[in-house]
Chain A
């Protein structure tokens, strides 16, 4: 029986990053992926004959630079079809705004001078505060314990950095930390298109509306990443490059390998059992999949104390984002908009909030808001010549949707699209709607949540995925977490995987 230093469960970008980092340090690592390709949420697929699309995530902005450089993804084939992607905030009247450069450095379109000035000031402030938070992403969350000196020093260092912003900025920072994005936008700006687009970006992938307190924190999180980009060949290219990179480092990747359970012996994690009955053993077991699945299914409650069972069970994982793919036999006309931008349909803050309301009660939005990318506009090979493929993340929909509800929601989405791109409905050759339920079934996103746990203030830092398991180490010796469910969350960032591996290598933790 082959034996490894470490077994990584889940060949998503976090699992690959963790494996790569460990392999760089000379560890013998096996990655087990249940699907036929590695990548998890970063994958490109043919969804109709001749039409390709990034199946889940379709844009890159959070990829951790440590991973990109540490694994030298460039030399393993990662190239970009577009970098520093602009965003077009669509308007039903066709009077759209284009946010250019890294998050609206300049704005093209009809916008009042007052709003231009206010936006420039607000953007700078948000960027400044986001930059202060950025270092948090590249470290294990600090513990609030006594005798954890090193981390407290790190925290104190960051505290001083924030203090270094100056008195007024520090005060403003503390006011904005847990505020809602709607109030900030209403205080500073007038233009509904601009405010709508920012509100949408803030709550994208979250179970929050723009008026929900703590929402601005998610915008900071987003802005602490990089500028938007699209990899050549779709998101699958990121996973392919990572797979190649880690394999070059000696990592073994086994596809179609479905882990049935984690073996616990003498209260230690010692290996895994696959669905086909095969058992594998290693000193270190790293779960880069959903934390709920990890604890409640793979480990099982009988190996956990009751507090931990309820903590794992209580992780909030409401996923409300739906993925839409359309194969189009022609070029959609968004009233003259440049298709080589990211298109956002979120006409106002109120529209985003109204879209959010129904999902609280398990219903879908009558007037959904969405982010659209047309990959075929950037690169050939995604659709037959003259044809296009449209990829959209649409909010909000609940996890439980029967066939009727799916059809009704798709109808509402198409009606919305039609009002921004008249005639688009007639171009549709094939459509595919991946609801939260589909994402759960196909990608293991429990609850349909793309982050394997809602990104929300009460589930960040030392609270992610739950109290006592936030530093990647778990209460079970030998079992570590490295997925998006851990700090700093998902979004094809790989940071959680990298951080976890760093932690494992340092042999840090309680024991």
Chain B
């Protein structure tokens, strides 16, 4: 039996990124995947004849450009197609359009409020400043503030210096921004409800917070830190669906000599004398390796695949208390044609991007109240896309794929498990909402797939259906992620590492956790790092 240098559990994007970097550094690497296909939550799947679905994650922006370049992903077929627009459809029949151009957006804002159009420049500038501060931190291992080791001290000084490079007022503004709710923050700039509703979206996506929850402003930043071809904050579709990202990664991995074994999951991690030495697959096969890297979330890793006796009790408690409540569902639809949103002009570029139906922050927050009470939102927030209007490779000519990200959907319904009936009702709620803005919509549906947190957990392995492998609140960010004392990709078990979104800097198809984990592993092995530093400029 072959022994590997590194076994990576889970062929999601972070697992593949770690694998690629380790393979590039000359390690003998294998990635083990439980599903018959790879990709984790970045997948393209054919669930209806002739149609390709991005059935989990559906848009791209956060994938670090440094990783794209290091792993030569464009060479292996990855192409990101930016949105051309977007819109919020209002209940009164009006709409707010969004375009790729700041000035066009400004004019559109002015159509709703002259004051808000003025504020938009100021707002964009302020948000960019916060992004600029945080962005370089994504590609660095968080320092342990309790440690006196030189590397931790250096990193602390690095962050401190960055902070003190700001003006005194900017420092206060930063602290304030980090602790505020997006609703209060937007109130300082804007007056029109639909404009605020549009801008608040990024602060709640994937998060068990409402727009009025303090700390939600940071989540907004999390979604603004990306770019498409250097266009900061822009989002786009991966041509061929989100699976193209992980497919390109797997090709890059193969080119560096790495292996992938799909079809059998890991039953448990083999631990001998406090060291991880391999994994046991479902069915009993063993794979041995010098180190094991888990791309699964931290609960799945330590509560399900590692025996409790191997871990310190305090750590087990920390992991049990890790917050990973799912907040969203997904409805994927095969369409016979383009839906006709009666508010939008025909052929508007707004179709080619994100379409929302929530025209006020209050509606968003009320949707969150449902989540808190343990039920799905009766008037949900949706981030809806028709990627096939830009990327025709995913469906037969004239047909379309529609992806509806839906919030909020709790991990449990009134404390109980989701049932098939609940799921179908949830799907109906979503379809009815769309149909109320697009007459005849229901007649276009050829096939649909409804995914609640239950389905996300079952298929992708995301505990409680949390798309970020752990909530993005301050108690679980930076050196607190996943749990204090274990924020540097290492676990209490020697040679067992973490590389998933449960680690810093968190979720989204970003790749940064995978890249940072690889960097730490290679540092430990005293190998040169085959990766570029984060671009400091923005």
Residues of A bordering B, CB below 8 Å: 143-146, 163, 167-168, 170-172, 174-180, 183, 187, 208, 211-214, 310, 314, 316, 353-354, 357, 360-361, 456-458, 462-463, 467-468
18 A–B contact pairs at CB < 8 A? A143-B168, A144-B171, A174-B480, A178-B215, A179-B474, A179-B475, A183-B475, A213-B213, A213-B215, A214-B215, A310-B188, A357-B372, A456-B179, A457-B179, A463-B176, A467-B172, A467-B173, A468-B169
> Which partner residue on chain A sits nearest B218 by CB separation?
A213
> Any chain A CB within 8 A of the CB of B164?
yes
How distant is the Cα of A144 from the Cα of B168 in the complex, in angstroms?
6
> Which partner residue on chain A sits nearest B163 by CB separation?
A144
Interface pair B473/A167, CB less than 8 Å apart: no
> Any chain A CB within 8 A of the CB of B209?
yes
Residues of B bordering A, CB below 8 Å: 145-146, 164, 168-169, 171-173, 175-176, 179-180, 184, 187-188, 209, 212-215, 314, 321, 323, 362, 365-366, 369, 372-373, 473-475, 479-480, 483-485
> Which partner residue on chain A sits nearest B366 by CB separation?
A361
Give the interface centre of A172, A175, A361 by most chain B CB atoms within 10 Å. A175
> Which partner residue on chain A sits nearest B478 by CB separation?
A174
How distant is the Cα of A170 from the Cα of B169 in the complex, in angstroms?
28
CB neighbours (8 Å) of B484 from chain A are: 171-172, 174-175
Interface pair B168/A146, CB less than 8 Å apart: yes
CB neighbours (8 Å) of B176 from chain A are: 458, 463, 467
CB neighbours (8 Å) of B366 from chain A are: 361
CB neighbours (8 Å) of A144 from chain B are: 168, 171-172, 175
CB distance from A202 to the nearest CB of B (A): 13
Top 10 A-B residue pairs of the complex, sorted by shortest distance between their CB atoms: A171-B484, A213-B215, A178-B474, A179-B475, A457-B179, A458-B179, A145-B168, A467-B172, A144-B171, A214-B214
Interface pair A214/B168, CB less than 8 Å apart: no
CB distance from B51 to the nearest CB of A (A): 40
> Which partner residue on chain A sits nearest B479 by CB separation?
A174
CB distance from B481 to the nearest CB of A (A): 10
| Interface majority SS (helix, strand, loop, mixed), chain B | helix
> Which of these, A175, A208, A361, contacts B362 with CB under 8 Å?
A361
Interface pair B372/A174, CB less than 8 Å apart: no
CB neighbours (8 Å) of B373 from chain A are: 354
Interface pair B180/A458, CB less than 8 Å apart: yes
> Which of these, B169, B180, B321, B485, contacts A171 with CB under 8 Å?
B485
How distant is the Cα of A357 from the Cα of B164 in the complex, in angstroms?
39
CB neighbours (8 Å) of B175 from chain A are: 144, 458, 462-463
> Which partner residue on chain B sits nearest A467 by CB separation?
B172
> Which of these, A176, A212, A316, contacts B213 with CB under 8 Å?
A212
How distant is the Cα of A493 from the Cα of B184 in the complex, in angstroms?
27
How distant is the Cα of A21 from the Cα of B368 in the complex, in angstroms?
48
How distant is the Cα of A172 from the Cα of B483 in the complex, in angstroms?
10
How distant is the Cα of A177 from the Cα of B479 in the complex, in angstroms?
13
Interface pair A214/B179, CB less than 8 Å apart: yes
Q: Given A175-B484, A178-B474, are A456 and B169 also a contact pair (CB < 8 Å)?
A: no
CB neighbours (8 Å) of B184 from chain A are: 316, 458
How distant is the Cα of A354 from the Cα of B365 in the complex, in angstroms?
13
Interface pair B146/A213, CB less than 8 Å apart: no
> Which of these, A146, A177, A458, contacts B164 with CB under 8 Å?
A146
Interface pair B146/A171, CB less than 8 Å apart: yes
How distant is the Cα of A8 from the Cα of B227 in the complex, in angstroms?
54
CB neighbours (8 Å) of A145 from chain B are: 168
CB neighbours (8 Å) of B209 from chain A are: 213
CB neighbours (8 Å) of A458 from chain B are: 175-176, 179-180, 184, 214
CB distance from A467 to the nearest CB of B (A): 4
CB neighbours (8 Å) of A468 from chain B are: 169
- Given contact pairs A145-B168, A178-B474, a sample of 18 additional A-B residue pairs in the complex whose CB atoms are under 8 Å apart: A144-B168, A144-B172, A167-B146, A172-B484, A175-B483, A177-B474, A177-B475, A212-B213, A213-B473, A214-B214, A214-B215, A310-B188, A361-B362, A361-B365, A458-B175, A462-B175, A463-B176, A468-B169
> Which partner residue on chain B sits nearest A182 by CB separation?
B372
Interface pair B321/A187, CB less than 8 Å apart: yes
CB neighbours (8 Å) of B213 from chain A are: 211-213
CB neighbours (8 Å) of A214 from chain B are: 179, 214-215, 474
> Which partner residue on chain B sits nearest A188 by CB separation?
B321
Interface pair A314/B475, CB less than 8 Å apart: no
> Which partner residue on chain B sits nearest A169 by CB separation?
B146
CB neighbours (8 Å) of B362 from chain A are: 360-361
How distant is the Cα of A187 from the Cα of B319 in the complex, in angstroms?
11
Interface pair A457/B214, CB less than 8 Å apart: yes
> Which partner residue on chain B sits nearest A211 by CB separation?
B372
Interface pair B179/A178, CB less than 8 Å apart: yes
> Which partner residue on chain A sits nearest B323 by CB separation?
A183
> Which partner residue on chain B sits nearest A214 by CB separation?
B214
> Which partner residue on chain B sits nearest A170 by CB separation?
B146
CB distance from A307 to the nearest CB of B (A): 9
How distant is the Cα of A163 from the Cα of B153 in the complex, in angstroms?
14
CB neighbours (8 Å) of B365 from chain A are: 360-361
CB neighbours (8 Å) of B369 from chain A are: 357
CB distance from A233 to the nearest CB of B (A): 39
CB neighbours (8 Å) of B474 from chain A are: 177-179, 213-214
> Which partner residue on chain B sits nearest A166 by CB separation?
B146
Interface pair A178/B168, CB less than 8 Å apart: no
> Which partner residue on chain A sits nearest B217 by CB separation?
A458
CB neighbours (8 Å) of A183 from chain B are: 321, 323, 475
How distant is the Cα of A180 from the Cα of B323 in the complex, in angstroms?
11
CB distance from A186 to the nearest CB of B (A): 9
Interface pair B214/A176, CB less than 8 Å apart: no
> Which partner residue on chain A sits nearest B168 by CB separation?
A145
How distant is the Cα of A208 from the Cα of B184 in the complex, in angstroms?
13
Interface pair B179/A360, CB less than 8 Å apart: no
CB neighbours (8 Å) of B323 from chain A are: 183
How distant is the Cα of A467 from the Cα of B188 in the complex, in angstroms?
14
> Which of these, A171, A175, A314, contacts B188 with CB under 8 Å?
A314
Interface pair A213/B188, CB less than 8 Å apart: no
CB distance from B512 to the nearest CB of A (A): 22
CB distance from A145 to the nearest CB of B (A): 4
> Which of these, A168, A179, A467, contacts B169 with CB under 8 Å?
A467
How distant is the Cα of A354 from the Cα of B314 in the complex, in angstroms?
33
Q: Given A171-B484, A174-B484, are A456 and B214 also a contact pair (CB < 8 Å)?
A: yes
CB distance from B363 to the nearest CB of A (A): 10
CB neighbours (8 Å) of B187 from chain A are: 314
CB distance from B440 to the nearest CB of A (A): 33
CB neighbours (8 Å) of A174 from chain B are: 145, 479-480, 484
CB neighbours (8 Å) of A208 from chain B are: 214
CB distance from A36 to the nearest CB of B (A): 37
> Which of these, A163, A175, A463, contacts B475 with CB under 8 Å?
A175
CB distance from A361 to the nearest CB of B (A): 6
CB distance from B129 to the nearest CB of A (A): 15
> Which partner residue on chain B sits nearest A143 by CB separation?
B168
How distant is the Cα of A208 from the Cα of B214 in the complex, in angstroms?
9
Interface pair A176/B146, CB less than 8 Å apart: no
CB neighbours (8 Å) of A171 from chain B are: 146, 484-485
CB neighbours (8 Å) of A361 from chain B are: 362, 365-366
How distant is the Cα of A145 from the Cα of B146 in the complex, in angstroms?
24
How distant is the Cα of A211 from the Cα of B145 in the complex, in angstroms?
27
CB distance from B349 to the nearest CB of A (A): 34
Interface pair A213/B145, CB less than 8 Å apart: no
> Which partner residue on chain A sits nearest B187 by CB separation?
A314
How distant is the Cα of A456 from the Cα of B217 in the complex, in angstroms?
15
CB neighbours (8 Å) of A178 from chain B are: 179, 215, 473-475
Interface pair A212/B214, CB less than 8 Å apart: yes
CB distance from A26 to the nearest CB of B (A): 34
CB neighbours (8 Å) of A168 from chain B are: 314, 485
CB distance from A430 to the nearest CB of B (A): 36
> Which of these, B146, B212, B314, B483, contacts A360 with CB under 8 Å?
B212
CB neighbours (8 Å) of A463 from chain B are: 172, 175-176
CB distance from B176 to the nearest CB of A (A): 5
> Which partner residue on chain B sits nearest A148 by CB separation?
B168
CB neighbours (8 Å) of B145 from chain A are: 170, 174
